[in-house]
Amino acid sequence: MSSNTPSSNQVIQFLLPSVTDLIFVLLLVSLTYGRLGPRLLADADVGWHIRNGENILATHVIPRTNSFSATLAGQTWYSWEWLYDALLGWVHGHLGLNGVVLISALIIAFTMAAVFRMTLRKGGSLPVTIVVFLVCLVASSIHFLARPHIVSWLLAVFWFWALDRYERERSAGMVWFFPSLMMLWVNLHGGFVLGFVLLGFYLIAAVVDLLSRDTVIRSGARERAITIGLVLVGCGVASLINPYSYKLHVHVYEYLTNRFYMQHIDEFRAPNLGGLPAQAFVLLLITAAFGIWMARGKLRTSEWLIVAFSVYSGLWAARNIPIASMLLVMVTVPLISKSDWTLRRFAALARPQLDRLELNLRGHLWPVMVVVATLAICLNGGRVLNKQVIAAHFEPSRFPVRAVSVLAERGSTNPIFSLDSWGGYLIYTRYPEQRVFVDDRHDFYGEPYLRDYLRVLHVEPGWQEILDRWGVNLVVFPAKSKFSGALVRAGWKTMYQDETAAIFVRP
C-alpha cells in the first residue's frame, strides 16, 4: 500500500489544480470570454501596432519612417516595439482581434499567476498571499490593455525573481541569461529601461553589503557585485542590438524627461485617487508599511530600494501602478507572513497543509486545457457549435465605429483629423485608404506639433489657421465636444452624427 503512495501523489499533483492554476484560468477566461474582454481593447493604441506589424511582415522591413501620418509622412520614427508589433500582426492575420485579445490575456494571466507563485516561494503564507494579491490584481487592472507594455511586466517580474534569488540563495544561473533576454526586451518595449533599474538596485545593494562590518552580510557580496556588474555591462551592449542602435536610448531618455509629455499624457500623470485601482494601490502602500513595521525594518538594502522605487513610481504616474504593485507584493507579503506572532500562528495553521500542497501541485493540466480550448475556439472564429462565445471588438460607445463605417461606405480618401486617442482605431480601420493627422504616438509627433493640436482641441486663438496649414478637410470628433461646436459655427458641414462621433467636412 505504501508503495503506491508516491504514484498516487503524482497523479493528484498532476490532476488537482493549484490556486496559481485557478488564478491563471480565471484571469484568462475573464479577459477573453468575460466582461473584462472589451477592457483589453479600451485603448486604440493597439490598432496602429497591428497595422505596423502587418507592414513589417509584408515588407520584411523594420520601419524607420512613418507611413500613417498625413502631414509627417516620411519623418523619422522610432518603432521601438517593432518585434511585438510583428507578433500582433501575425496573430491578427490568423485569428483576428480574438487572437490579439487571447495573446494579451495569456501574458497578463501568466504574469499575475507568476507573481502569486513567486510570493509563495519567497515565504508568503497562502491565506495572506491570496488576500493581498487580490488587492494587487485590482490595482494592476488600471492598465489591462492589449499593448506591448504587458511584456515588460512579465520580464520585470522574472528579472526581480532571478536577482532576488541570487541575492538570497547565491544562485546566479538565471542572471547570466539577462543579456540574451535584453536583446528581446529592447525590441519589444521601451520598458527595457526597468531592467537596468533593477540591476542597478541590486548592484548598489551588493556594494553596500561589501562595506558592511558584518562578516555574514559581507560574505559573497564581492562576487555578487562583480557578477551583476558584468551582467549590467552585457545588458548594455545587448540593448544596442536594435534597429536604431544608441539613438533609441537617446530618444527614450528625451521622451521620458520631457515635462510637456509628462504633464499632458494621461497615463504619465499622477493616478486619480477617486478610481478603484488607485485606491487599491493606496491600500497596498498601507499593507507594505504594515509589513515593514512587522519586520521591524529588517529589509535588505535591495528590498528598501525596490519598495522606495515602487512607492515613488506608482504615485508619480498611473501607468506605473501595475508593476509597482507586483513588486510590493513580492517584497512585503513574506514579511507579513513571517513577522507578527498572530499572523505567524495563522500561517502555521495553513502551511503544513495548504502551503505545502500548493507548492507541490505542478501539473498545470487545467491551464493547459483551457489555453488549448480557447485557441481552438479562436481558430473557429470565436464560435462553439455556431454560438459566438468570443467576439473581441472595439466598443461603439468608446470609438467612432459607426462613423468609420460611413466613411468606408462613401469611399472617403481624405486624411482624418480626430482625437489622438482615436487615431490608433482610425489607422486600424482606414489605413491605407485614409491617414490621420494625429494619434497617440506622441514621441513621434513631437512637442511643437502637439501644442498646435491642443490649441485646435481647446479652440484657442489661431485654431482655424492650424487646420488650414495642415490641410484638414475631414474631421471625426465627439459630437458634443467644444471643438465640434466651433466647427459648426465656422460653417463646416455635418456629414454624419451619432451619440459617439460626428463627421464634419469643409463647406
292 within 8 A of 299, measured Cβ to Cβ: yes
189 within 8 A of 147, measured Cβ to Cβ: no
Q: Count of domains in the chain? A: 2
222 located within any domain: yes
57 in the same domain as 13: yes
pLDDT of 68:
93
Query: Is the pLDDT reported for residue 1 higher than 50?
Result: no
Query: Is the pLDDT reported for residue 79 higher than 70?
Result: yes
359 in the same domain as 492: no
- How would DSSP label each residue in 249-264? HHHHHHHHT-HHHHHH
Distance CA 252, CA 17 (A): 42
Q: What pLDDT, in 10s, does the model give residues 140-163?
A: 999 999 999 999 999 999 999 999
- Which of 234, 263, 250 shows the shortest CA–CA distance to 190? 250
pLDDT of 5:
59
Distance CA 107, CA 103 (A): 6
Q: Are strands 502-505 and 493-497 parallel, antiparallel or unpaired?
A: antiparallel
Distance CA 495, CA 383 (A): 37
265 in the same domain as 328: yes
293 in the same domain as 223: yes
Domain that holds residue 480: 401-505
Distance CA 183, CA 176 (A): 13
Cell of 416: 482624418
419 in the same domain as 355: no
402 within 8 A of 500, measured Cβ to Cβ: yes
pLDDT of 9:
62
Query: Is the pLDDT reported for residue 507 higher than 50?
Result: yes
Q: What pLDDT, in 10s, does the model give residues 224-249?
A: 999 999 999 999 999 999 999 999 99
**Confidence category of residue 74, pLDDT binned at 50, 70, 90:** confident
Q: What percent of the chain has pLDDT over 90?
A: 73
pLDDT of 342:
46
CA separation, residue 322 to residues 328, 381, 504 (Å): 10, 32, 39
In the three-class reduction of DSSP (H, G, I as helix; E, B as strand; rest coil), residue 494 is classed as: strand
Q: Which span out of 19-23, 98-102, 293-297 was modeled with the highest average pLDDT?
A: 98-102
326 in the same domain as 429: no
Boundary residue ending a domain (320, 340, 365)? 365
Distance CA 433, CA 346 (A): 63
What are residue 69's DSSP bridge partners? 436
Give mean pLDDT, residues 172-200: 94
First to last CA, the chain: 89
What are residue 504's DSSP bridge partners? 475, 494
393 located within any domain: no
Q: What angle do CA 282, 316, 453 make, to 5 degrees?
A: 125
Cell of 152: 515588460
pLDDT of 2:
44
Run of H or E including 475: strand 474-477
Cell of 144: 489591462
416 in the same domain as 350: no
Query: Is the pLDDT reported for residue 307 higher than 80?
Result: yes
Task: Name the more confident of 83 and 214.
Answer: 83
Boundary residue ending a domain (365, 382, 417)? 365
pLDDT of 220:
80
Query: Is the pLDDT reported for residue 267 higher than 70?
Result: yes
388 located within any domain: no
406 in the same domain as 360: no
Q: 33-42, 416-425, 429-438: which range is least confident on average?
A: 33-42
182 in the same domain as 68: yes
Distance CA 495, CA 4 (A): 76
Query: Is the pLDDT reported for residue 418 higher than 80?
Result: yes
Boundary residue ending a domain (365, 391, 415)? 365
User: String of b and e for 402-418 (b: at least 16 CB within 10 Å)?
Assistant: ebbebbeeeebebbbbb
370 located within any domain: no
Amino acid occupying residue 286: I
What are residue 475's DSSP bridge partners? 417, 504
Q: What is the mean pLDDT of the chain?
A: 90
CA separation, residue 118 to residues 43, 115, 191, 359 (Å): 30, 5, 21, 10
Residue 339 C-alpha from the chain's centroid:
33
480 in the same domain as 420: yes
Residue 5: other Cβ atoms inside 10 A: 9
Distance CA 255, CA 242 (A): 18
357 located within any domain: yes
Query: Is the pLDDT reported for residue 353 higher than 80?
Result: no
Give mean pLDDT, residues 130-134: 93
149 in the same domain as 57: yes
381 located within any domain: no
Query: Is the pLDDT reported for residue 358 higher than 50?
Result: yes
CA separation, residue 81 to residues 48, 135, 338, 479 (Å): 11, 30, 41, 33
Q: What pLDDT, in 10s, does the model give residues 463-497?
A: 999 999 999 999 999 998 999 999 999 999 999 99
422 in the same domain as 352: no
**Confidence category of residue 345, pLDDT binned at 50, 70, 90:** low
Query: Is the pLDDT reported for residue 200 higher than 60?
Result: yes
Distance CA 70, CA 66 (A): 10
20 located within any domain: yes
Residue 246: other Cβ atoms inside 10 A: 10
In the three-class reduction of DSSP (H, G, I as helix; E, B as strand; rest coil), residue 69 is classed as: strand
377 located within any domain: no
172 within 8 A of 66, measured Cβ to Cβ: no
Give mean pLDDT, residues 30-38: 82
